[in-house]
Amino acid sequence: MPEVILIVSGVLGFFLLVSALVAWLTRDLLVAVLATAAAGLLVSLFYLILQAPDVAITEASIGAGLTTGIFVYVLSKTERYEK
């Protein structure tokens, strides 16, 4: 069983790194916000693997949900692309 957890953690870590790089390198702010939300969801999955479901739920709801909603709302009031 620990081998499966190690493999799943490695895969999640890889996708977390890819998501962070997309958020950092893209010029489209909406794509950056969505990549940040994906990173937040992946971090919440890490918390589930670490057997901290309360922290995982908090991270998913606030870190990925509420923060993304606020960013998308603010982005709708400004320009989408970075100059």
Measure the CA–CA gap between 76 and 70, rounded to whole angstroms.
10
pLDDT at residue number 49: 94
Give per-residue pLDDT as tens, 56-76.
Answer: 999 999 988 999 999 999 999
The pTM for the full model equals 0.87
Per the structure, the complete domain to which residue 25 belongs is given by 2-77
The residue among 6, 83, 82 whose CA lies nearest residue 30 is 82
DSSP 5-31: HHHHHHHHHHHHHHHHHHHHH-SBHHH
pLDDT tens-place string over residues 15-60: 999 999 999 999 999 999 999 999 999 999 999 999 999 999 999 9
Structural domain includes residue 82: no
Contact 43, 63 (CB under 8 A): yes
Tell me what pLDDT residue 8 has. Answer: 93
Q: How many domains does the chain have?
A: 1
Residue 83 domain-assigned?
no
